Structure 1
Amino acid sequence: MVVLALTLTACTEEAPGPEAAAKELAAAIADGDFGGVAFSQANIDVPAHRDAVLEPLAAIDHTVTLEGVEVATEGDDEGRRATATLAYTWDVTDTTPWAYETSVDLVLQDPQDGDGPQEWAVVWEPDVLVPDLRDGDRLAVTRVRAERAQILGADGAPIVEPRPVHRIGVDKMNLDPARQDAVARAVGAAVGIDVEAYAQKVAGAGDKAFVEAIVVRADDTAGIDLAAVRAIDGVSVVDGELDLAPTRTFARPILGRVGDATAEAVEESGGQVVAGDTIGLSGLQRQYDVQLRGTPGITISVVADGSAGEDTGQDLDLDGAPDPVEDVTDVFAVEPVAGVPLATTLRTDMQVAAEAVLAGVPSASAIVAVQPSTGDVLAAASGPGGDGTSTATTGKYAPGSTFKVASTLAMLRAGVTPETVVSCTPTITVDGREFQNVPGFPQAAIGEVPFRTAFANSCNTAMIAQREAVSQQALHDAAADLGLGVESALGAPGYFGSVPASAEGTEHAASMIGQGKVEASPLGMATLAASVAQGSRVSPVLVRPEVTPAAAEAPAPSGLTPEEAGTLRSLMRSVVTDGSARLLLDLPGEVGAKTGTAQYGDGSLAHAWMIAIQGDLAVAVFVETGDSGSGTAGPLMKAFLDAPDAGVDG
C-alpha cells in the first residue's frame, strides 16, 4: 500500500507552466543574465549571441516583457510545446521609441540535471531578439546629423553664406617626394603658420594627399601676398567656397564660433551630443546651440553576415551615413530635425561699416547703433584692440560727460531750463577735491552763461555746481528713465550700466559728470541716446530666439515725458551747432550729440565717448584710451554716420 501511494504521487507531479520560463527569458534578454533560463539546444552560447547583436544599443534604455503564451493543443506537441510573444521597447529618442514583438518557442523536456520534474526550455533562434534576424546577422546604429541652422541678420537673410575662398597647400600627388619638405616649409613661411608643424603634417600625410596649410577669403587674404604664394614652385591654390560671415571680423565676439564638441560638452549633454558633433563653442552659437543644432536622426539596421568586413557598424557613424555594405535592411529610423534659424537685429551692411571705422583703432573700442522706434540693435561692433571681447555690449566704463544727458534730465526736473544762467568756472572744489573742465575748454563759455551753452561745451563745473539741487537718487532715477542701468530682454549677454542710488560729497559730484562709480557700456549709452530720440525709454533687442525666455522682474515704469525728451534733443542739437561736436554739423538731418571724456588710471589716461542721434538712429562711439570725446570719438562717429551703409533707410 505504501509503495503504491508513492508511485501515484510521483506520476501525478506536474511541471510548471511555460509562462514562468518565458518571463525568465524576457528578464534575461533585458539584463543579460541567463542563469535561470534552460535552452533546448546543447552547446549554444546565448549570452554571447545576445551581447554581440544588441551591443550597438547598449546605451539605450529598454524593456523586454512577456506579452502572452500559447500552448499547443493538438497533435504530438499538445501540452508539450508553447509559443511566447515578447514585447520590446527601446527608448531611442525622448519621443519616439522603437517597439516591436518577437515570438519564441518553448518545449517541455526532462531537466538537464536529470533530477526533478520536467521543465520548459527555450528554442533559441536569432529572430528572438529582432524580427527576421538570421544567424550571423548584426545590428548597426547610424546617427544622422541634423542640418545646423543659420544665424540671420535684420533682413532675414543668413549672415553666414557660401563665399569664395582660396585653399593653399601642398598636393603630394603632383609633387616630387624629394621636394615636398622644402615646398612645405616655403608655403608655411609664405602664409605665416608654424613652418615646422606644417612640414611634419605634410610628411605624415598620404602619398596622394592635398595637405591644406590655410584657407583665405578671395576678397580678403588676411595680408597674405597671394601672388608670391602662387609663385612657389609646387604650391597648390585651390578655389572653392566656404560658409563664412561677410568679413573675417564680422560681429565675432557676439556671434561666436562653432567647432568639434569637446569632451566636457559631450559629458554635460546627457547623450544629446557625441564626439565628432559640431556645436557652438562661444557667443550666440553656444548660447542658442540647442535651437541651432537641431535634433539628430537615428537609423537601426540589420546587416547581413560578412557584408561589411570585420569592422562592424556597431559604433555610431558620426558622418551620418552607413559604411557601404552589400546587404543592409533598415528596421527603424527617426529622421533628423533641422535646427531653427536664430533671428538677430544686426544689419550686415551697418555692422561692416562700423567695423571698418574701428579697424585702425589700437585700444579697445566700440560702435553701437540702435533704432529708437524698435529698440533693434543694428550694429554692435567691437574694435580689434579688445582682444576678442564684446566691448560693444559688455564693456564697463565711466561714461564721462555723455552721462550729462541723464544729469540734465534730473536738473530739468529740479527747475533748470536751457535758458537758466549757470556758473561755468575754471575749477570747482568739493570737500577738498578740485574738479576742472577738459583741457582746451573754450574761454568764451567760461563765466555766467545759459545752461544751453554750458551743456553744448560740456562744462563740468556748471554741472557739479548743481549737486545740491539734484540728489544722487534723482540722478539714478533720471538715468533709469533713459534706460541706463535697466535690464532688457536683449537676447545676448549685455551690460546696461550702473548708477548708484546714494552717494555724497566728491562721489556725488563725480557722478554728476559721469565718473566716480557710474558705469556704462557702449550699448547702455546708445540706449540712453535712443530713449532721448524716441521720447520714451527704449529696451534694446539684439536676438529674437525661437523660445522667449521667462521675463525678468519688470522694471519700474519710466517717468520720461515727451516734453523732457524734446528739451534734451534740443540741447544735444546745440552740441552740434555751437559746442563740442561741431564736426557733425555738415551731416544730413538734424543731428544731436554729446561728447564725453572720462579720466582713468592715475588720471593721465582718458576714455573717449560720443553719442549721437540722427532721425531714427542712435549711436554710441567709445575708445578706451583716447585724447577726448570730440578729438578721438568724434571723427569715428562722423565716419560711421557718413558711411553709405550707415543710414537706417540706406
Structure 2
Amino acid sequence: MGVRPGFALALVLVILALAGCSATDARESAARDAAQAYLDAWASGDLAGAAELTDDRTAALLNLRAVATSMGFGEGEQPLRTEITAVELDENGASVTYQATWKFAAAPDWTYDARLELRAGEGDDLTIGWATSAVHPDLADGETIEWSRGLAERASILDAAGDPIFAPTAVVVVGVDPARVTDLAALAAALAAALGISAEDVVASVSASQPGQFVPIITLRRPDYDVVRAVIVDLPGTVFREETRQLAPSASFALGVLGRVGEATAEVLQEAGTDYAPGDQLG
C-alpha cells in the first residue's frame, strides 16, 4: 500500500520541528550550565575561577575582589545564594537572568535581579561577556558595593543636673586584615605587649577569619590610641577604624551603678538573640 503524499509531508514537518526543539533545548541547557558555573564559583569564593569563565579575566577578578573586600567577606565563601530565573537565546549566545540574595548576620536579606550576557567563544563554548552589571545591574565601572548596619541610638543616662553622663567620644578600633599579615605570631606578640591583651586571642581571631576581613582586636579612646600609635601603626597586618561612641568620662566611672557598654561577646550574643552581631555595642 502506498503512502499518501499529505501524510509524508506531515511526517517530515513533525521530524523537523522535533529537531528544532532539540537544538534549542541544548543551547538553553548550555547557557544555563555556563551561567551556573560562574555563579557557583563566585558564591563559593573561587573568584579566580569565576573570572576565568569570562571574556576579561583581569577586569572580572579585579571587580569581584573589590566587591568581596568592600562587603567585608574577603576571598572566602560569600553569603550569597543565586537562582537562574530566565534564559533568552539569541544568534550570538544568550542572556541569563538570575536572582541574587545576600544573607547578612543580624540584618535583612538583600535580593535583586541581574543579568549575564553569554557569548560563544572558542569551540562554541559560552563565556560571560564581562561587565560590572554581572554583579549588580546598577554597578558602573570603577564602583563597588558596600553594606553597613547600625543599631538605634542609645538613650541618654542623665546626672542629677539633667546632663548626659555618656557623651560622644572619639575612639579607634584596632584591627587586623589577615591578607596583610606576614608573621601572625610576631604580630600577636607585639599587639599583646603594646595593648595588654592576649596574644593567643589575637591568633585565634585572625586565624578564624578570611583575607580582606576587618578583624577587630580592641577599641581605644583616642588619647589612649595616640599613646601606642607609633608602636602599632606600622605592624604588618594592622588596620584601623575611627568611630564615635557614647562613653562615660572614664572606663571605670560609676561602673558598679552604670555597668559597662562594650562589644558583644559570644556569651552575650547567645542571650541577646539574632538581632545582634559581633561588634555591636551592648550593655
Q: Which category of TM-score, normalised to the shorter sequence, fits these structures?
A: 0.3 to 0.5
Rg larger in 1 or in 2?
1
Task: Flag the structure with more relative contact order, 1 or 2, with Cα contacts below 8 A and sequence separation at least 6.
Answer: 2
How high is the TM-score relative to the length of structure 2?
A: 0.48
How high is the TM-score relative to the length of structure 1?
A: 0.23
